[in-house]
Structure 1
């Protein structure tokens, strides 16, 4: 165990984000220790329409024998959860409901979704009367049926920071649903980018703000300039501080490496393991 000031950091078990076809390469590491797996096969229109049944079958086959926790990354391209077009909002809701069906059928109990908050929002929220409430109303219009369906399925929607500057804004949005079926996700790389680009708090402070609402963490490193999805140790994130904050959280979030180059998963794991942060 790592001594972080007065706090002892107990190493966390860490898993990975993968497509079904990529699981076999890392099967022993994932399956032998029942690690968290996030399936990333259901993010496109094709995956949720013409390829749906084939992808369900592929995911089930790849996960056969796995006893750890499973999640999926939901769709996001063009699917803004506070879309201003009233005609498009039901289509977005339907796409998320289809992704929830995929999650349920492969045994996943989490679905990652993207936050709608940006620096532009934070800088303009007080400049237009009713801006925040109008935005939240659109979010509830789109996500209300999705949250209700997730409740019925026993699945948790986890809202990932993308361009978020103030973590408490996203947390307040989740609070407004007053449901155990929606919680918070933190992407470490996105938080670090927001820190460098927009003056956001450090990554560890995103974790502390989430507290026991934190249900999911994407672990990836960046250089502060772009969304690199590098292995931990290749960028500038202060990993000891991040895992010290995670140790303070009483929840048990899914913690998964989300790397662009999946062949770097062993190196990223080894770096964090060498720091005494993961097992």
Structure 2
């Protein structure tokens, strides 16, 4: 198995703690400074400048995590949907301003959806229609800016559902993200398949991966090796991916990045 190069998710103020590791190998970086309303409005200029400064000299790939709190991409309230679209458009503009090529957004699919999809007429179609109302202008702007929206599994049970949602846009500006911890948690809570199945189902649509470990009870964001995930099989599946997805450690404590990287390196799966 060929080891894969991995990077990390960080706020701009945290990059200095890991600068040598990130910059010397041109590792992927996901910036997590633009997730709130304040960050994308009144603090927007200052945050963009801070990120640019922190990334100066970095030659690797960059993405951002987009906003998500309260911003359901299938919101049933017609008055709120345009506000969600507006927030995502601001985030795409921020991504482009710092030279990021990806933006993570959260999936709207849950166990509730999977269990109710055939319980009433047009349930799936109505949901997908709302998603397109919210995201279609964002996908269009992402195409213009050269940014790819990557849709991260949150409570997804069947990975094919999210994949088909992404495929429905028929655009290179929207693809799939996998959070390893979320996938494993869904397996324990909702009977989802194991993490490597999420990877294999994504196939050529996989453009981004959050690497984190957990105990199957809560969304811990522990360093790999501290939880239950079978990392060798996950990386075997990643090695079969036809693309070269961004692979980034997303840990609750960024000081655990060396420990998580060291564990994966010891397995021979990461470099």
Q: Are 2:38 and 1:46 aligned?
A: yes
Which residue is equivalent to 1:168? 160
Task: State the Cα distance separating 1:141 from its structure 2 match.
Answer: 0.2
Q: Are 2:182 and 1:190 aligned?
A: yes
Q: Are 2:231 and 1:201 aligned?
A: no
Q: Are 2:82 and 1:90 aligned?
A: yes
CA deviation profile, 1:237-257 (whole Å, cap 9, x unmatched): 000010000111110000000
* Equivalent position SS for 2:177: strand
Task: State the Cα distance separating 1:236 from its structure 2 match.
Answer: 0.4
Q: In structure 1, which of residues 15, 18, 43 is the aligned counterpart of residue 7 of structure 2?
A: 15
Which residue is equivalent to 1:227? 219
CA distance in 2, matches of 1:154, 1:12: 25
Q: In structure 1, which of residues 37, 51, 57 is the aligned counterpart of residue 49 of structure 2?
A: 57
* Equivalent position SS for 2:202: helix
Q: How does 1:131-170 map to 2 (within 5 A)?
A: 131-170=123-162
Task: State the Cα distance separating 1:262 from its structure 2 match.
Answer: 0.5
CA distance in 2, matches of 1:97, 1:33: 31
Which residue is equivalent to 2:269? 277
CA distance in 2, matches of 1:172, 1:122: 14
Moved beyond 6 Å, runs of 4+? none
Which residue is equivalent to 1:214? 206
Which residue is equivalent to 1:266? 258
CA distance in 2, matches of 1:199, 1:241: 19
Which residue is equivalent to 1:116? 108
Which residue is equivalent to 1:66? 58
CA distance in 1, matches of 2:120, 2:50: 48
Task: State the Cα distance separating 1:156 from its structure 2 match.
Answer: 0.4
Structure 2: gaps spanning 5 or more residues = none
CA distance in 2, matches of 1:218, 1:109: 16
Q: Are 2:116 and 1:130 aligned?
A: no
Give me the TM-score of the superposition, normalised by structure 2: 1.00
Task: State the Cα distance separating 1:116 from its structure 2 match.
Answer: 0.1
Task: State the Cα distance separating 1:54 from its structure 2 match.
Answer: 0.6
Structure 1: gaps spanning 5 or more residues = 1-8
Which residue is equivalent to 1:37? 29
CA distance in 2, matches of 1:181, 1:11: 28
Which residue is equivalent to 1:241? 233
CA deviation profile, 1:10-58 (whole Å, cap 9, x unmatched): 1100000000000000000000000000000000010011111110010
CA distance in 2, matches of 1:29, 1:202: 30
Give me the TM-score of the superposition, normalised by structure 1: 0.97
Task: State the Cα distance separating 1:234 from its structure 2 match.
Answer: 0.2
